[in-house]
């Protein structure tokens, strides 16, 4: 059976020189992971270019789809963050589309970039970085009130503050691991079941009959994985909204 983990192996497509920044070697080669990002992002940009080429009051099919995605994230941002959500909409929408397109590229054609811990961790750090930047820009040093919830008895505060700080530090980790784990797990399971089909079918007539069950499972899993691909992108967007809301509406709750 083929190694189910081999699908996550980074491979270079276009060899580019390695530069060293602050003692860290950065291999700028276009790998399959980078290629997946280019394909996904390129598809998103192409789609929106076509969808918004001729925007009309009475929309065409592509425009309806684009507006559907737009409305989904816009409503999300507005319902969680409030009126201020509009300022952060491009960032949240970019995150959502980026992750969704990478997930779908992995589901349909090519390499799953979101199954790379480097990618999910970078996205999570980017998100938390944006939260921290927004937090300081909006509240200055009041940002630290995030760790001191109001209405808590003073003698509990030391414990609460420690818990709040730890939970804040855990955010990028949970963000990255959730997406990473979902994509890796799903793809491994699909690969394993698909391997069963091939292995059993190779055994002869009885094997072919036995292969029907894993085949059906693969079909069902594929449907599930499409759902997960969408859901994880949505969850990432929702959590980004929640984290941004914490710092945007600091002290309002």
CA dist 173 and 183 (Å) reads 15
Nearest alpha-carbon partner for 234 in 69, 55, 83: 69
Could you tell me the smallest distance in angstroms from the CB atom of residue 3 to another protein? 6
Let me know: does 240 contact 92? Beta carbons within 8 Å: yes
Tokens for 228, please give them.
């997960």
Q: Between 86 and 142, whose beta carbon lies closer to another protein? A: 86
Could you tell me the smallest distance in angstroms from the CB atom of residue 217 to another protein? 22
What are the distances in angstroms from CA 121 to CA 47, 171, 230? 27, 11, 19
Could you tell me the smallest distance in angstroms from the CB atom of residue 173 to another protein? 15
Residues that bind another protein (CB under 8 A): 2-3, 5-6, 8-12, 15, 17-18, 20, 24-31, 33-34, 37-38, 41, 44-45, 48, 52, 55-57, 59, 63, 66-67, 70-71, 74, 89-91, 93-94, 97-98, 113, 115-119, 122-123, 126, 180, 184
Could you tell me the smallest distance in angstroms from the CB atom of residue 39 to another protein? 10
DSSP character for 55? -
Backbone phi and psi for residue 105, each to the nearest 5 degrees, phi listed first: -60, -40
Could you tell me the smallest distance in angstroms from the CB atom of residue 125 to another protein? 9
CA dist 74 and 88 (Å) reads 9
Neighbours of 182 (CB within 10 A): 20
Q: Between 146 and 194, whose beta carbon lies closer to another protein? A: 194
Element (H, E) at 73: helix 61-81
Let me know: does 229 contact 124? Beta carbons within 8 Å: no
CA dist 198 and 191 (Å) reads 11
- Beta-bridge partner residues of 18: 27
Q: For the chain, what is the radius of gyration of the CA atoms?
A: 22
Could you tell me the smallest distance in angstroms from the CB atom of residue 165 to another protein? 25
Element (H, E) at 78: helix 61-81
Could you tell me the smallest distance in angstroms from the CB atom of residue 93 to another protein? 6
């Amino acid at each position: 059976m083929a190694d189910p983990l081999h699908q996550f192996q980074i491979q270079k497509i276009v060899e580019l020189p390695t530069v060293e920044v602050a003692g860290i070697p950065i291999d700028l080669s276009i790998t399959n992971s980078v290629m997946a990002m280019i394909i996904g992002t390129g598809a998103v940009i192409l789609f929106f270019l076509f969808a918004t080429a001729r925007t009309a009051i009475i929309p065409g099919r592509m425009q309806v789809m684009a507006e559907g995605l737009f409305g989904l994230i816009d409503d999300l941002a507005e319902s969680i963050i409030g009126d201020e959500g509009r300022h952060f909409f491009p960032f949240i929408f970019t995150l959502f589309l980026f992750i969704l397109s990478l997930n779908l590229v992995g589901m349909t054609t090519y390499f799953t970039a979101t199954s790379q811990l480097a990618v999910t961790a970078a996205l999570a750090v980017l998100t938390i970085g944006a939260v921290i930047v927004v937090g300081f820009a909006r509240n200055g040093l009041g940002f630290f009130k995030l760790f001191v919830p109001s209405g808590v008895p003073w003698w509990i505060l030391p414990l609460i503050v420690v818990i709040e700080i730890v939970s804040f530090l855990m955010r990028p980790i949970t963000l990255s691991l959730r997406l990473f784990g979902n994509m890796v797990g799903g793809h491994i399971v699909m690969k394993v079941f698909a391997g069963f089909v091939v292995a059993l079918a190779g055994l002869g007539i009885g094997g072919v009959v036995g292969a029907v069950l894993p085949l059906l499972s693969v079909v069902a899993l594929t449907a599930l994985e499409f759902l997960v691909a969408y859901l994880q992108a949505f969850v990432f967007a929702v959590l980004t909204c929640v984290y941004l809301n914490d710092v945007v509406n600091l002290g309002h709750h």
